[in-house]
Amino acid sequence: MKIKQFIIVCFLSLFIQGHTLPLNTSSRDNNLEMGNPSNATATISAHDNFLITKTQFALSYNSSKGEPNWVSWHLSKAWKGDAKRCNCFSSDKTIPANLYKTTKNDYAHTGFDRGHLCPSEDRDANEEDNKATFLMSNMIPQSPHLNRITWVALETYCRKLIDAGDELYIIAGGYGSGGIGESGELSNSIADKINVPAHCWKIVVILPEGNNDLKRINNATRIIAVDMPNNQAVNEFKWEHYRVTVDEIENITGYNFLNKIPKSIQEHIESKKDQLQIN
């Protein structure tokens, strides 16, 4: 090696040692890290609380309602990429044969959107991840103004949080019957099979990126919980208007959220309503 080349190599080596590039600490963590709120099980007899676990998310499927009771997922930069939205709605073949499988056509001409719970943009690292979000087991009927305006605004806010260095644990679902879609009339079901929820809810646990997430949750951990009406007037207010406590959603749904967190911390953070000013 020539002397000039040797000097350059030595200089670069010293420079790199003194200027270590920051590492991306993002990881793909357990979608059920915060708990299984309805104690769903993967047994055929649990037809209205059937547990389905995928790489991309976990859910409790309700065959009588033709929709998930809830969907739970982890979100960090490790789940993000540049895969295109596939728009490939399809039935979930992992649902047992004795349970009703919702089809994409069940929503046609109903006035309601096929509303993602785990969003497409939360799973765009690759085509396989994105495709999973278009399974009908991840959908509930949502009014267009909820799905396309107010609900998506919260989804966008969540992705801004991970861009800023946080990781999130999110769980979402609906409750009740009776929503108002584009027809302007109250609908309790569509296709005579699928329940139209009266309200849609979401719970977001926010942590700085790191490891041992359950152990890092304390009384100061920020939790966002929302309860939004499933109608065309929902967009009269921004998403933050609909913030509630986790306790309120538990009282309505009967679920036990965040049940892997130590009881004393769980009780504290579930009783607080997020008050952070949203720009």
194 φ/ψ sector (left φ>0, alpha ψ -120 to 50, else beta)? beta
Among 118, 153, 122, 157, smallest CA distance to 139 is for: 118
Active-site choice (74, 116, 145, 199): 116
Give the rounded distance of the alpha carbon of 113 from its chain centre.
17
Give me the residue label for tokens 């919980």: 225
Give me the residue label for tokens 């965040």: 258
CB 174 within 8 A of CB 67: yes
Pairing of strands 58-62, 67-75: antiparallel
Beta bridge partners of 205: 169, 223
User: Quick check: is 74 catalytic?
Assistant: no
Half-sphere exposure of residue 173: CA atoms within 13 angstroms, side-chain side: 28
Give catalytic residue positions: 116
